[in-house]
């Protein structure tokens, strides 16, 4: 992911390269992600958002395996702002474009991959097949709220590695 980040014009700090390397490890037996959940905890304004674009590009950039990545935060507006920050560098990739319609936005790749923001509620992702989900500002969720959000995406990972 460090190479993707540099390609996007935002080289990573050493801690970001290390974190991205560990988070992106692949299980040699299944070929899927080694870790289902990766939690990054650092102080404010330390560069957590810098990890999002290369991770989304790595997952969505596989032409032979179109995928969908999702991002949320403590509120729909916060999720959208964080998503806009994360998608800005991705717009420089060939063929990637932002689609916007009334109350719906997504970043799409020519082969069908997409990166979308979502409101932090339990029903938004039911029936979806996410390859990657970012939950930003995890500290702001109560445990019951977090469990409801996770209930929306974790069932898909029983049949698709996320």
Domain boundaries defined on the chain? 2-158
- pTM confidence score: 0.84
Q: Say what the pLDDT of residue 81 is.
A: 86
Q: How far is CA 137 from CA 113, 155, 157, in A?
A: 25, 22, 22
Query: Does the pLDDT at position 123 exceed 80?
Result: no
Pairwise pLDDT comparison (120 vs 110), residue with the higher score: 110
Query: Does the pLDDT at position 1 exceed 90?
Result: no
Distance of CA 122 to the CA centre of its chain: 18
Distance of CA 90 to the CA centre of its chain: 12
Q: How far is CA 111 from CA 1, 9, 36, 67, in A?
A: 20, 23, 25, 9
Identify the band that residue 107 occupies on the pLDDT scale cut at 50, 70 and 90: very high
Q: Which of 114, 126, 132 is nearest to 33 (CA)?
A: 132
Q: Say what the pLDDT of residue 43 is.
A: 87
Identify the band that residue 91 occupies on the pLDDT scale cut at 50, 70 and 90: very high
Mean pLDDT (the chain) is 84
Q: Which of 30-39, 104-113, 152-161 has the lowest mean pLDDT?
A: 152-161
- 98 with 107: CB under 8 angstroms? yes
């Amino acid at each position: 992911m460090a190479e993707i980040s540099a390609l996007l014009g935002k080289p990573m700090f050493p801690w970001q390269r290390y974190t991205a390397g560990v988070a992106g490890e692949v299980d040699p037996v299944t070929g899927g992600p080694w870790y289902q959940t990766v939690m990054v905890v650092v102080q404010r304004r330390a560069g957590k958002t810098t990890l999002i674009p290369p991770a989304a590009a790595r997952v969505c950039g596989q032409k032979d395996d179109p995928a969908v990545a999702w991002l949320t935060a403590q509120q729909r507006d916060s999720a959208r702002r964080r998503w806009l920050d994360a998608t800005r560098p991705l717009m420089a990739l060939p063929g990637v474009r932002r689609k916007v319609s009334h109350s719906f936005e997504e970043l799409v790749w020519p082969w069908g991959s997409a990166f979308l923001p979502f409101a932090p509620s339990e029903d938004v992702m039911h029936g979806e097949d996410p390859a990657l989900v970012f939950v930003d500002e995890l500290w702001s969720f109560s445990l019951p709220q977090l469990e409801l959000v996770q209930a929306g995406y974790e069932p898909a990972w029983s049949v698709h590695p996320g």
